[in-house]
Amino acid sequence: MESDLMDGVVVVGGGVIGLTTALVLAERGRRVRVWTRDPVERTTSAVAGALWWPYSIEPVALAREWALRSLDVYEDLAADPEATGVRMVEGVLGDEDPDGAEAWAGARLPGLRASTAGEHAGTGMWARLPLIDMSKHLPWLRERFLAAGGTIETRTVSDLAAVEAPVVVNCTGLGARELVPDASVRPVRGQLVIVENPGIRTWQVSTDTAGEKAYFFPHPDRLVLGGTTDEGRWSLEPDPAAAEAIVRRCAALRPEIAGARVLEHKVGLRPARDAVRLEREPLPGGRTLVHNYGHGGAGVTVAWGCAQEAARLASP
């Protein structure tokens, strides 16, 4: 009982941020329970395209630090892609300045260079980055957490202060809007089209002349096409017109995509905020609440770095 009082942690939220945070805590010897409304397969994280890159996340300096810490982990996990879902894959980040990236990531990402005209029309950067298959990675996180002695419970939390634990970690993503409450948290709707992979092995992220994003991420059995960034939209229903536009934009980059058979449509709501909230707050009775939410579309990119920081904040 004394150990429970000293080490007990409840992580609220079972997406990639919550599971990674819980895993880091458990592997540091804490007694950790995850309370989640949905299984990992039904979280927003399951819809993530999941290319490692600190995209649209603030504060920039901290996000880059968290991303590089996460990169260390993903590079190790890429040694066993079948189990972890992590592979190192080459591709082009359109509209990205290689010199700017070199300044903060060059030492960790050897081989960064400007893309050629044959690789990308316009300014771009060729890089080898972690690409994460979330259908494998999320279950792998869950099993590693359970193997570390953690437990997962299906529970809906309506009051963080009422959670009976010495330490509560809030990893509720978009749910923080009502739960905290934090009105600055907002949805940025993202739609994906999953198609058969016609033999594409590199990824690409680009922006067309109308300012619309196009990207494709290759996995051995499928190709993930995106996407949309619909600020403030809550609908989880796939939009047929948006899906057609996604395929059209991606096919403009790689024509063979036009004939690929559609396997699935997916929609997720990125938990956006002007800046990530990663901080400690006192609770009544000497207990501690740690907030770790607001990562937008970069949750996978910074998950391990943020988890390590959250674990530090959760220390007695």
Q: What is the pLDDT of residues 17-75, one digit of tens each?
A: 999 999 999 999 999 999 999 999 999 999 999 999 998 999 999 999 999 999 999 99
Kindly state whether residue 154 falls inside one of the protein's structural domains. yes
> Where residue 5 falls among pLDDT bands split at 50, 70, 90?
very low
pLDDT mean over 122-149? 97
Share of the chain above pLDDT 90, in %: 91
Q: What is the pLDDT of residues 251-275, one digit of tens each?
A: 999 999 999 999 999 999 999 999 9
Which of residues 209 and 273 earns the better pLDDT score? 273
DSSP class of 228: -
Whole-angstrom distance, CA of residue 301 vs CA of residue 204: 17
Residues placed in the known binding site: 44-45, 157, 172, 215, 270, 296-301
Whole-angstrom distance, CA of residue 229 vs CA of residue 191: 8
Whole-angstrom distance, CA of residue 1 vs CA of residue 4: 5
Torsion angles phi and psi, residue 20, rounded to 5: -65, -40
Long-range contacts, 257-262 (Cβ 8 Å, 24+): 257/195, 257/198, 257/200, 257/216, 257/223, 257/225, 259/198, 260/195, 260/196, 260/197, 260/198, 260/223, 261/195, 261/196, 262/193, 262/194, 262/195
- At position 62, the amino acid (one-letter code) is L
Whole-angstrom distance, CA of residue 273 vs CA of residue 89: 29
Kindly state whether residue 242 falls inside one of the protein's structural domains. no
Whole-angstrom distance, CA of residue 265 vs CA of residue 257: 15
pLDDT mean over 127-145? 98
Say which residues have a Cβ less than 8 Å from residue 138's Cβ, sequence separation at least 6.
16, 19, 40, 41, 43, 45, 46
Kindly state whether residue 191 falls inside one of the protein's structural domains. no
Residues placed in the known binding site for FAD: 44-45, 157, 172, 296-301
Q: Is 91:112 a contact under the CB 8 Å cutoff?
A: no
Residue range(s) defining the domain that contains residue 74: 1-85+133-184+273-316
Count structural domains, the chain: 1
Kindly state whether residue 228 falls inside one of the protein's structural domains. no
Kindly state whether residue 57 falls inside one of the protein's structural domains. yes
Kindly state whether residue 60 falls inside one of the protein's structural domains. yes
> Where residue 212 falls among pLDDT bands split at 50, 70, 90?
confident
Say which residues have a Cβ less than 8 Å from residue 168's Cβ, sequence separation at least 6.
9, 10, 12, 160, 283, 287, 288, 289, 290
pLDDT mean over 162-167? 96
pLDDT above 50 (res 211): yes
H or E segment and range at residue 301: helix 299-313
Residues placed in the known binding site for D-dopa: 215, 270, 297
- Report pLDDT for 121: 86
Share of the chain above pLDDT 70, in %: 98
Whole-angstrom distance, CA of residue 156 vs CA of residue 237: 23
pTM here?
A: 0.96
> Where residue 2 falls among pLDDT bands split at 50, 70, 90?
very low
Kindly state whether residue 238 falls inside one of the protein's structural domains. no
**Coil vs helix vs strand at 150:** coil
Torsion angles phi and psi, residue 219, rounded to 5: -120, 160
pLDDT above 90 (res 122): no
Whole-angstrom distance, CA of residue 314 vs CA of residue 288: 7
Q: What is the pLDDT of residues 232-242, one digit of tens each?
A: 999 999 999 99
Kindly state whether residue 149 falls inside one of the protein's structural domains. yes
CATH number of the domain to which 304 belongs = 3.40.50.720
- Report pLDDT for 63: 98
CA atoms within 13 A on the CB side of 203: 28
Q: Which of 57, 10, 78, 40 is nearest to 305 (CA)?
A: 57
